[in-house]
C-alpha cells in the first residue's frame, strides 16, 4: 500500500510560500517517495494528459468521458502529465481534483507549462493537487519545479519497478522572449539520488526532451502512434535523457504536443507521447480519420517486461474508436 507523506495545511502553506528559498526541516530522498504494491503479476498505469479544463468546459460531460477511460482500463495508478487547466478558475481547478481524488485510485501529477496560469498562487495549486489519494508530496526544497517525485512498486517486499515524475519547469525568460522549460541539472542529480540500481523504471514529464526530435528523425514510423504536429521541446538541452538511459529507465512519456501520440525507440529507451485526454484547446486526427484523443495505458510486469497501449475515445460520440499496443518483448 502507499506510504503517505502528508504535510498538514498549517505546515504546507508557510513552506510553499518560501519555496525555492529552503526551509528548516531537513528533507531526505525518502520524503519524495511513495510505495505502491503489485498484487498480481502486473500493475497498470493510466496516463491522462493535457486535459485542459477551461471556462467553457462541460464538466459533467468531461467527467463521464474520463469515467469511461478509467472503466475501460481499470488502472492501479493514474499519472497526469500536465496542462490539466487553461484559463480556468479556482472552482474549475478544484472540481478537476475533486473528481480525480473521487476515483479512489492513487494518482500523481507533473505540472505542464499552463498549470500555474490562473487566478491562484503556486501554494494554492500545490495544495489543490495533493488530495487524499495523491501519491506525491510537494516539498519545500531547492530543486527546480514542484512536481518531482518517485514511486517504488513493490512485490513481496521488494522494489521491482520505479516510476518517476520530473517537472519540466513551464517557461524560461530570455530578455523579452520566452522559451519552454527543461529538466535542470539539479533535477538530474536528484533523480540519480532516488534511483535504485538495477531496478527498471518509467518516467513521466510534460515537455518532451530534445531527444524526441532525434528519435523521430531516426525512425519516423516509430513503434506506436502518430505525429501530426512537430515536437516542441525547450531550446535548452537537458542531461536527463543520458542519465535515465544509464539508470535502466525503459520509457519516458510526455504530453504537451496534443496532436501527437507517437512513440519511438532511441538508444534503447522508448520516448513517447501519451494520448490527449478529450478535445479541449486542440487535438489531432489520425491518418485513418479518428481523433487522437483518449489515454495511454502502461502495464508493467513482475518479469520486468512492459506494454504500451493507446486507447482512442471520441469526445463527441463517446465511442472507443481504436486500440493499439506495443510490447517491449518486440525488442
- Nearest residue to 65 via CA among 261, 259, 323, 317: 317
User: Which of the ranges 4-12, 53-61, 83-91, 279-287 carries the binding residues for Fe ion, by CB under 5 A?
Assistant: 83-91
The CB-of-118 to Fe ion minimum distance in angstroms stands at 14
User: Which of the ranges 150-158, 191-199, 253-261, 317-325 carries the binding residues for Fe ion, by CB under 5 A?
Assistant: 253-261
In angstroms, the CA 51 to CA 62 distance is: 9
Angle between helices 122-129 and 90-102 (to 10 degrees): 20
Residue 52 touches Fe ion, criterion: CB under 5 A: no
Do residues 311 and 297 lie in contact, with contact meaning Cβ atoms separated by under 8 Å?
A: yes
- Nearest residue to 261 via CA among 202, 322, 328, 173: 322
In angstroms, the CA 160 to CA 52 distance is: 33
Do residues 259 and 282 lie in contact, with contact meaning Cβ atoms separated by under 8 Å?
A: yes
Q: Name the DSSP class of 306.
A: E
How far the first Cα of the chain sits from its last, in Å, is 32
The CB-of-193 to Fe ion minimum distance in angstroms stands at 27
* 74 burial via Cβ count (<10 Å: 0-12, 13-18, 19+): exposed
Identity of the residue, 83 or 291, whose beta carbon is nearer to Fe ion in the bound complex: 83
User: Which of the ranges 25-33, 79-87, 88-96, 215-223 carries the binding residues for Fe ion, by CB under 5 A?
Assistant: 79-87
Which one of residues 256, 258, 276, 310 is an interface residue with Fe ion (CB under 5 A)? 256
Residue 128 touches Fe ion, criterion: CB under 5 A: no
Identity of the residue, 5 or 276, whose beta carbon is nearer to Fe ion in the bound complex: 276
Residue 258 touches Fe ion, criterion: CB under 5 A: no
User: Which of the ranges 66-74, 78-86, 216-224, 282-290 carries the binding residues for Fe ion, by CB under 5 A?
Assistant: 78-86
Identity of the residue, 181 or 200, whose beta carbon is nearer to Fe ion in the bound complex: 181
Q: For strand 201-204 and strand 33-37, is the pairing parallel, antiparallel, or unpaired?
A: unpaired
Residue 231 touches Fe ion, criterion: CB under 5 A: no
The CB-of-100 to Fe ion minimum distance in angstroms stands at 18
Residue 106 touches Fe ion, criterion: CB under 5 A: no
User: Which of the ranges 4-12, 19-27, 77-85, 116-124 carries the binding residues for Fe ion, by CB under 5 A?
Assistant: 77-85
- Nearest residue to 4 via CA among 35, 26, 27: 35
Identity of the residue, 112 or 225, whose beta carbon is nearer to Fe ion in the bound complex: 112
Identity of the residue, 152 or 257, whose beta carbon is nearer to Fe ion in the bound complex: 257
Do residues 328 and 250 lie in contact, with contact meaning Cβ atoms separated by under 8 Å?
A: yes
Alpha helix (H) residue ranges in the chain: 9-17, 59-73, 90-102, 122-129, 185-194, 211-218, 240-246
Of 107-126, binders to Fe ion (CB under 5 A) are: 112-113
Residue 276 touches Fe ion, criterion: CB under 5 A: no
The CB-of-295 to Fe ion minimum distance in angstroms stands at 17
Which one of residues 76, 83, 152, 211 is an interface residue with Fe ion (CB under 5 A)? 83
Q: Which helix or strand (DSSP H or E) is residue 321 part of? A: strand 320-327
User: Which of the ranges 105-113, 117-125, 168-176, 190-198 carries the binding residues for Fe ion, by CB under 5 A?
Assistant: 105-113
Residues that bind Fe ion (CB under 5 A): 83, 112-113, 256
Amino acid at each position: 500500500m502507499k506510504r503517505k507523506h502528508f504535510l498538514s495545511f498549517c505546515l504546507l502553506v508557510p513552506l510553499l510560500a518560501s519555496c525555492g528559498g529552503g526551509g528548516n526541516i531537513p528533507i531526505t530522498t525518502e520524503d519524495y517517495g511513495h510505495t505502491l504494491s503489485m498484487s498480481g503479476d502486473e500493475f497498470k498505469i493510466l496516463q491522462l494528459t493535457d486535459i485542459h479544463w477551461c471556462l467553457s468546459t462541460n464538466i459533467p460531460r468531461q467527467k463521464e468521458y474520463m469515467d469511461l477511460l478509467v472503466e475501460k482500463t481499470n488502472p492501479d495508478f493514474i499519472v497526469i502529465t500536465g496542462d490539466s487547466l487553461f484559463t480556468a478558475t479556482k472552482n474549475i481547478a478544484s472540481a478537476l481534483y475533486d473528481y480525480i481524488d473521487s476515483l479512489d485510485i492513487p494518482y500523481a501529477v507533473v505540472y505542464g507549462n499552463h498549470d500555474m496560469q490562473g487566478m491562484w498562487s503556486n501554494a494554492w495549486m500545490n495544495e489543490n493537487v495533493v488530495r487524499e489519494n495523491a501519491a506525491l508530496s510537494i516539498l519545500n526544497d531547492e530543486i527546480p519545479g514542484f512536481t518531482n517525485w518517485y514511486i517504488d512498486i513493490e512485490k513481496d517486499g521488494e522494489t521491482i519497478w520505479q516510476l518517476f515524475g520530473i517537472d519540466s519547469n513551464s517557461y524560461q525568460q530570455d530578455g523579452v522572449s520566452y522559451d519552454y522549460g527543461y529538466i535542470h541539472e539539479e533535477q538530474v542529480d536528484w533523480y540519480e539520488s532516488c534511483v535504485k540500481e538495477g531496478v527498471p523504471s518509467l518516467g513521466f514529464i510534460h515537455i518532451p526532451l530534445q531527444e524526441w526530435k532525434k528519435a523521430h528523425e531516426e525512425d519516423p514510423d516509430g513503434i506506436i502512434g502518430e505525429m501530426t504536429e512537430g515536437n516542441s521541446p525547450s531550446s535548452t538541452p537537458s542531461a536527463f535523457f543520458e542519465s535515465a538511459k544509464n539508470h535502466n529507465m525503459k520509457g519516458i512519456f510526455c504530453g504537451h504536443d496534443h496532436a501527437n501520440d507517437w512513440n519511438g525507440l532511441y538508444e534503447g529507451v522508448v520516448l513517447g507521447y501519451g494520448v490527449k485526454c478529450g478535445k479541449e484547446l486542440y487535438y489531432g486526427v489520425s491518418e485513418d480519420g479518428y481523433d487522437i484523443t483518449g489515454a495511454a495505458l502502461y502495464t508493467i510486469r513482475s518479469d520486468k517486461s512492459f506494454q504500451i497501449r493507446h486507447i482512442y475515445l471520441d469526445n463527441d460520440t463517446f465511442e472507443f474508436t481504436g486500440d493499439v499496443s506495443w510490447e517491449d518483448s518486440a525488442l
